[in-house]
Amino acid sequence: MVLTARDGEDVDRRLAVAALPEVRLEPLPRTDAAVLLGRVAPELGPALAERVLEHAAGNPLGVVELGEAVARAGGAALLPTWLPLSTRLERTFSGLVAELPAQTQELLLVAALDDGDDLDEMLDACRRVLPGEVGPDQIEPAVTSRLVQVDDRFRVRFRHPLLRSALYQAATAAQRRRVHAALAETVAADPERRVWHRAAAASGPDEALARELTETARRAGRRQAASIALAAFERAARLSEDRAARGRRLLAAVEAASEQGDAVTALRLLGEVEERDLTQTDRAWYGMMREVYLATGWTGGDRLSAFAEGVETMCRDGDTEMAVESVLAICLRVYWSNADPETAARLLAAAESLDGAADDPRLVAAVAQLAPVTRGAWCLERMLAIRAEDAANPREQYELGMGASALGACSLAASFYTAAAVGLRAQGRLGLLCKVLVSHAMNAAYLGDARTALTLVVEGEQLTRETRESNWAPTAWMVTGFARALRGDVDAARERADAAEAVLLPAGKHPLLALVRQLRGVAALAAGRPEEAFRELYRVFDPADNSYHPYTQFMLVGHLADAAVGCGALAELREVVAALTPVARECRSPALLLGVGYARAMLADEAAAFETALAADELVEWSFERARLQHAYGAWLRRQRRAADSRPLLRAAAATFDALGATAWADRSRAELRASGETLRRPVDLAQSLTPQEIQISRLAAEGLSNKEIAERLFLSPRTISTHLYRIYPKLGIKSRGELARVLAGAG
């Protein structure tokens, strides 16, 4: 016979006397639990899957039933402390409590609803609920049954996380309100906790309480606690008496859900918004959210004037925080909409009028996107100061990365994106992490670093699918195509350009087509077709073309110059340089300064011009641009029959291009070197033998991270990491992590 018994001290005593053989059922290892969850609820996003695994704590029934229940609920649980349980799970865990004394059961309910772990606090609240004396002895039956643990400092911990959810779900609404009211009185000295319990105890709308909870949500957002902000905004919306305020709070909750990558919750909350109740500004905000989540069509700059008016109203009313968030919500749209100057100027004036605009990283980043030319130099100065102070949080670092990218300060942007990704991973904010990875990858491609771009975008593209960030998917495709073009994989680049254009063109997102032209132009350069490259790239510079974008130009002048020189379009190139030279002087964009300097050298066609361009301070952080200049100068010297002088420049250019993974450009430098009388072999390229994800895992392993640490970074299982390494080693002809580090170091 096989007998089963629940864990507990009394069971242990009986088993010891019976001397029966025992098999203790331990929790499933996390990797196995993740595999099981993937089978029963494959549609769960990473954030919800992580939460299910945490709460199930290896209980197989918990993984199966909780995974299915959460999938049905769509992540709609209000508070972070509980999850919706299936009837079977609730009955299973509630049954563990049913045989305990009534006072113990009530004390456990208080413990389940308490956001703290102090036993004295729980006893105080319990005395407010139950008549008569409630003392520490009432917790002992639960300790004996091993339902809870109490340590030496009288802190209570549930032995299994799902028991808390079961107690919550089994209690009636009246019981829960009564306990929350008692807890609100008990923690009255802590306003932050008190407002939560008051909100949970409320039986109907309460606008004053909703305002308090909204402030709690905003504070949570500022300290990067997105899940708490989401719960607080949603609860505040439920308590709202002011219908316009309710709508705004729901929209804020949608934003918080988006940061976590919880598209299901974002869609649910968006569906609860009543547009007729919204203010004019909030209607514009709501319309843009519908475009993002419901694909209702892209309105470009149509809503910007309403948004500008709303931000001005917030500024007049002193609602600074909401004004800041509104400016942040709109600045990227302004950047990509070719907005009319009047509307952009109104938004800029509103942003600059806010208190602390020069010191708030969010506003500095917003101003950079609202006015890259007229405020570019000032923004760069402030961003460098902010980076030196190292005081920005991950959300602010993401915004600063976007602002620096808008100015063509790619090296600066990379430092912000790198820091943001680390913080957002730790916080589990996958929606923002997805945007950071894709943006960082594009930034790396602008720097000519195909290796880094491909490594970043493979994870970024995966997250766009998992978090349902469909608006970022075409950008991810174009980043991949850009990096592939740099490597010389022209067919793959064209496929990505075609796929992105098929999405952007019907949606009317014409300014974003600049990225398609950019991709096709670079791919044509890689294929040695300068006339085609010039035709594609020049469309970004032509105001009459639907692909025109005045700021993407900052990044493309160098590529345009190569194409123009290759096909003889020198007159058009001179016009572009003449138009952009004063812009570069005003905004101090590193990318634009380097591009204009390179184009001037190519047009001058003389040694002094190349020497001047190579002396530019900005080249220190732009390896690709330095190599491009070295190649051009070396090729010019070879044509002047100065072969010996050309070779060091061409060797250096080829080495840099190889290190960056810009294989098509490296091959061109090697061809020039051969023409000068010297042969240089192509080095072994890891990217040809490893996938982008394998390169990413290899780098982390070479840094000394364990399989578990790598798995946590990449949201994979340790077993998956082990499998990847098992495949990587034979590909590289190595057998250990130490050898891996040496191979990667040798490959640059």
Q: How far apart are CA 95 and CA 166, in angstroms?
A: 10
Q: Which two tokens stand for residue 208?
A: 């004053």
Query: pLDDT category, 313, cuts 50, 70, 90?
Result: confident
Residue among 321, 232, 269, 222 nearest 75 (CA): 269
pLDDT at 51: 75
Task: Check pLDDT > 80 for residue 694.
Answer: yes
What proportions of the chain, in percent to the nearest 5, are helix, strand and coil?
75, 0, 25
Q: Which two tokens stand for residue 629?
A: 């200049």
Q: What is the mean pLDDT of residues 195-215?
A: 89
Residue among 515, 522, 449, 429 nearest 476 (CA): 515
Angle between helices 87-98 and 161-170 in degrees, nearest 10: 90
Task: Check pLDDT > 90 for residue 162.
Answer: no
Could you report the per-residue pLDDT of 666-676, keeping only the tens digit for each? Answer: 999 999 999 98
Per-domain boundaries in the chain: 77-201, 439-675, 686-746
Asked if 296 contacts 269 with a C-beta cutoff of 8 angstroms, the reply is no
Could you report the per-residue pLDDT of 344-402, keeping only the tens digit for each? Answer: 898 899 888 887 777 889 999 999 999 999 999 999 999 999 999 988 889 899 999 99
Could you report the per-residue pLDDT of 420-437, keeping only the tens digit for each? Answer: 999 888 887 888 899 999
Q: What is the mean pLDDT of residues 399-421?
A: 95
pLDDT at 337: 87
Angle between helices 410-427 and 590-604 in degrees, nearest 10: 150
Q: How far apart are CA 551 and CA 584, in angstroms?
A: 11
Q: Which two tokens stand for residue 595?
A: 């591009």
Q: What is the mean pLDDT of residues 267-294?
A: 83
Q: What is the mean pLDDT of residues 667-689?
A: 78
Q: What is the mean pLDDT of residues 302-306?
A: 77
The secondary structure of residue 545, as a DSSP letter, is S
Q: How far apart are CA 298 and CA 509, in angstroms?
A: 6
Q: How far apart are CA 70 and CA 65, in angstroms?
A: 9
Phi-psi region of 716 (alpha: psi -120 to 50; beta: other; left: phi over 0): beta
Fold match, 439-675 / 686-746: no
The secondary structure of residue 42, as a DSSP letter, is T
Q: For residues 431, 432, 433 and 437, what is the CA-based torsion angle, rounded to 10 degrees?
A: 110
Residue among 141, 143, 159 nearest 99 (CA): 141
Query: Between 320 and 517, whose confidence is greater?
Result: 517
Q: Hey, is 171 helix, strand or coil?
A: coil
Query: Between 63 and 598, whose confidence is greater?
Result: 598
Task: Check pLDDT > 60 for residue 450.
Answer: yes
pLDDT at 77: 41
Task: Check pLDDT > 80 for residue 55.
Answer: no
Range of weakest confidence among 555-559, 562-566, 596-600, 659-663? 659-663
> What element of type H or E holds 724?
helix 718-732
User: Does domain 686-746 sit in CATH 1.10.10.10?
Assistant: yes
Residue among 239, 157, 246 nearest 203 (CA): 239
Q: How far apart are CA 18 and CA 280, in angstroms?
A: 75
AA letter at 248: R
Which residues share a beta bridge with 711? none
Task: Check pLDDT > 80 for residue 524.
Answer: yes
State the sign of the Cα–Cα–Cα–Cα dihedral 523, 524, 530, 531: negative
Could you report the per-residue pLDDT of 589-600, keeping only the tens digit for each? Answer: 999 999 999 999
What are the start-end ranges of the H helices in 336-393? Answer: 341-353, 361-370, 376-389
Q: Which two tokens stand for residue 345?
A: 């100027």
Task: Check pLDDT > 80 for residue 142.
Answer: yes
Q: Which two tokens stand for residue 680?
A: 């240089």
Residue showing tokens 């994106």: 417
pLDDT at 746: 59
Query: Between 702 and 380, whose confidence is greater?
Result: 380
pLDDT at 314: 80
- Which residues, at least 6 apart from 493, have a Cβ–Cβ distance to it below 8 Å? 481, 482, 484, 485, 519, 520, 522, 523, 526
pLDDT at 144: 85
Query: Between 668 and 75, whose confidence is greater?
Result: 668
Residue showing tokens 């915004």: 399
Strand segments, DSSP code E, in 129-175 are 148-150, 156-158
Q: How far apart are CA 50 and CA 66, in angstroms?
A: 12
The secondary structure of residue 400, as a DSSP letter, is H
Which residues share a beta bridge with 150? 156
Q: Which two tokens stand for residue 412?
A: 């600066």
The secondary structure of residue 467, as a DSSP letter, is T
Tell me how crowded residue 22 is: count the other CB atoms within 10 A of its CB. Answer: 10
pLDDT at 286: 82
Task: Tell me the CA distances in angstroms from 183 to 20, 112, 177, 399, 428, one per residue in order.
Answer: 46, 11, 10, 39, 29
Asked if 125 contacts 113 with a C-beta cutoff of 8 angstroms, the reply is no
Asked if 547 contacts 541 with a C-beta cutoff of 8 angstroms, the reply is no
pLDDT at 72: 66
Q: What angle is formed at CA 577 by the lines to CA 572 and CA 579, rounded to 5 degrees? A: 95
Among 1-10, 72-81, 182-191, the range of highest mean pLDDT: 182-191
Could you report the per-residue pLDDT of 215-272, keeping only the tens digit for each? Answer: 888 887 777 677 788 888 988 999 999 999 999 899 989 888 888 777 778 888 888 9
Query: Between 300 and 523, whose confidence is greater?
Result: 523
Q: How far apart are CA 234 and CA 250, in angstroms?
A: 6
pLDDT at 683: 65
The secondary structure of residue 155, as a DSSP letter, is B
Q: Which two tokens stand for residue 312?
A: 């001005």
pLDDT at 79: 44
Q: What is the mean pLDDT of residues 539-545?
A: 95
Range of weakest confidence among 162-171, 359-368, 611-620, 644-653? 162-171
Task: Check pLDDT > 50 for residue 80.
Answer: no
Please count the CA atoms within 13 angstroms of the CA of 523 that sit on its side-chain side: 24
Query: pLDDT category, 607, cuts 50, 70, 90?
Result: very high
Q: How far apart are CA 687 and CA 583, in angstroms?
A: 38
pLDDT at 684: 55
Q: How far apart are CA 221 and CA 211, in angstroms?
A: 15
Could you report the per-residue pLDDT of 712-739, keeping only the tens digit for each? Answer: 777 778 888 888 888 888 877 777 787 7
Range of weakest confidence among 99-103, 425-429, 582-586, 618-622? 425-429
Average pLDDT score, the chain: 86
Query: pLDDT category, 405, cuts 50, 70, 90?
Result: very high
Q: For residues 124, 130, 131 and 135, what is the CA-based torsion angle, rounded to 10 degrees?
A: -50
**pTM of the predicted structure, to 2 decimals:** 0.77
Q: How far apart are CA 638 and CA 671, in angstroms?
A: 12
pLDDT at 367: 94
CATH superfamily of 439-675: Tetratricopeptide repeat domain (1.25.40.10)
pLDDT at 170: 84
- Which residues, at least 6 apart from 536, have a Cβ–Cβ distance to it below 8 Å? 517, 518, 520, 521, 524
Range of weakest confidence among 33-42, 96-105, 524-533, 732-741? 732-741
Residue among 553, 642, 564 nearest 606 (CA): 642
Q: What angle is formed at CA 304 by the lines to CA 299 and CA 310, rounded to 5 degrees? A: 135
**Distance from the Cα of residue 591 to its chain's centroid:** 25
Query: pLDDT category, 130, cuts 50, 70, 90?
Result: confident
Q: What is the mean pLDDT of residues 432-459?
A: 93
Task: Check pLDDT > 90 for residue 280.
Answer: no
Query: pLDDT category, 651, cuts 50, 70, 90?
Result: very high
Portion of the chain with pLDDT greater than 70, in percent:
94
Q: How far apart are CA 538 and CA 741, in angstroms?
A: 43
Range of weakest confidence among 233-237, 517-521, 531-535, 571-575? 233-237
